[in-house]
Amino acid sequence: MKSYLAAAIQMTSVPDLHKNLAQAEELIDLAVRRGAELVGLPENFSFMGEEQDKLAQAEAIARESEIFIKTMAQRYQVTLLGGSFPVPVSDTGRVYNTTILVSPSGEELTRYNKVHLFDVNVPDGNTYRESSTVVAGQQLPPVHFSEHLGNIGVSICYDVRFPELYRHLSDKGTDIIFIPAAFTAFTGKDHWQVLLQARAIENTAYVIAPAQTGNNYGRRLTHGHAVIIDPWGTILADAGDKPGIAIAEINPSRLEQVRRQMPSLQHRVFS
Ligand SMILES: O=C(O)CNC(=O)[C@H](CS)NC(=O)CCC(=O)C(=O)O
């Protein structure tokens, strides 16, 4: 594993596929011009809108999102996480909430369907029923083993509240955890940073968390603050609340140093 720059992209995705893909390419271009070799897009990067609109356009969103991710990875010669996008599940009328990691040659390295669905009545009065349109994934997320970039584990948004998923990634040797998200503004202000730092600290791993921000559609407000966090829990970069990027160095000697200073993974009793 070498030292390199990684970027977490922050977007305000709207109910317009082509607008979102154009915004995503601009931000990938920015990240690459600043030297990033590993880049992540947020959850639902290619479409944020009413659930019924998303379902109606799911075939096109799925097809174009996947082509877009592979084309961008090749065009910009980066390893790219396609945050998440809907993928129709036959005979259900619903979709998976899916993320893929793609190599600079356009090859799919890993694929994961979000396991934990956001069915929550948020105290601000908004109700979320992700399971009404999304089929839950049935498999733990995969880890991609990379000689150059380190071992990369993936997850999506609401997963961040379930530490057992990350302990699984950690057991598989994960050095870098992706957590692309579209956190609500209401929960995000109190929980987002704390949860991300906890996942980084308890697994002594880097966390790369691309995010949605601002007013996506209707009354949907997302929290922003795409971040990159080091294995000590220090926030290395924060994209604030406007579309943009958080960019920071992923450094194997820092990883090794923190794992030496805080060997908690070696002190587990119940494993
Ligand atoms: O809403 C959309 O348009 C797209 N879908 C999402 O943004 C997903 C599923 S509803 N959001 C989350 O999982 C938020 C979790 C969260 O905010 C928390 O855990 O507090």
Instruction: Convert the pLDDT of each residue in 156-167 to its tens digit.
Output: 999 999 999 999
Catalytic residue list contains 107: no
Q: How far is CA 195 from CA 122, 174, 210, 249, in A?
A: 17, 18, 14, 21
Task: Indicate if ligand 1 lies below 6 Å from the C-beta of 47.
Answer: no
> 95-130 burial, b for 16+ CB within 10 Å, e for fewer?
bbbbbbbbbeeeeebbbbbbbbbbeeeeeeeeebeb
How many Å lie between the centroid of ligand 1 and the Cα of residue 173?
28
pLDDT, average across residues 257-266: 97
Whose alpha carbon is nearest atom 7 of ligand 1?
A: 182
- pLDDT classification of 36: cutoffs 50, 70, 90: very high
- Cβ neighbors of 75 (< 8 A, separation 6 or more) are none
How many Å lie between the centroid of ligand 1 and the Cα of residue 118?
6
Closest ligand 1 atom to 44 CA: 4
Task: Indicate if ligand 1 lies below 6 Å from the C-beta of 85.
Answer: no
pLDDT, average across residues 120-134: 94
Catalytic residue list contains 114: yes
pLDDT, average across residues 25-38: 98
pLDDT, average across residues 120-132: 93
pLDDT, average across residues 126-147: 96
Task: Indicate if ligand 1 lies below 6 Å from the C-beta of 217.
Answer: no
- pLDDT classification of 74: cutoffs 50, 70, 90: very high
Output the average pLDDT for the chain: 97
How many Å lie between the centroid of ligand 1 and the Cα of residue 223?
11
Which pLDDT belongs to residue 110?
98
pLDDT, average across residues 28-40: 98
Q: Which residue has the higher pLDDT, 102 or 51?
A: 102
Nearest Cα residue to 192 out of 166, 224, 153? 224
Catalytic residue among 37, 43, 64, 66: 43
Which pLDDT belongs to residue 271?
80
List the single range of 50-54, 86-90, 240-244, 256-260 with lowest mean pLDDT: 50-54
Task: Indicate if ligand 1 lies below 6 Å from the C-beta of 184.
Answer: yes
Task: Indicate if ligand 1 lies below 6 Å from the C-beta of 43.
Answer: yes
Whose alpha carbon is nearest atom 16 of ligand 1?
A: 183
Task: Indicate if ligand 1 lies below 6 Å from the C-beta of 79.
Answer: no
- pLDDT classification of 102: cutoffs 50, 70, 90: very high
Axis crossing angle, helix 163-171 with helix 185-202, rounded to the nearest 10: 30
Which pLDDT belongs to residue 14?
98
pLDDT, average across residues 205-219: 97
Catalytic residue list contains 172: no
pLDDT, average across residues 227-239: 98
Is the entire prediction scored with pTM above 0.80? yes
Q: How many residues does the chain have?
A: 271
pLDDT, average across residues 135-147: 97
ipTM associated with this complex: 0.92
Which pLDDT belongs to residue 188?
98
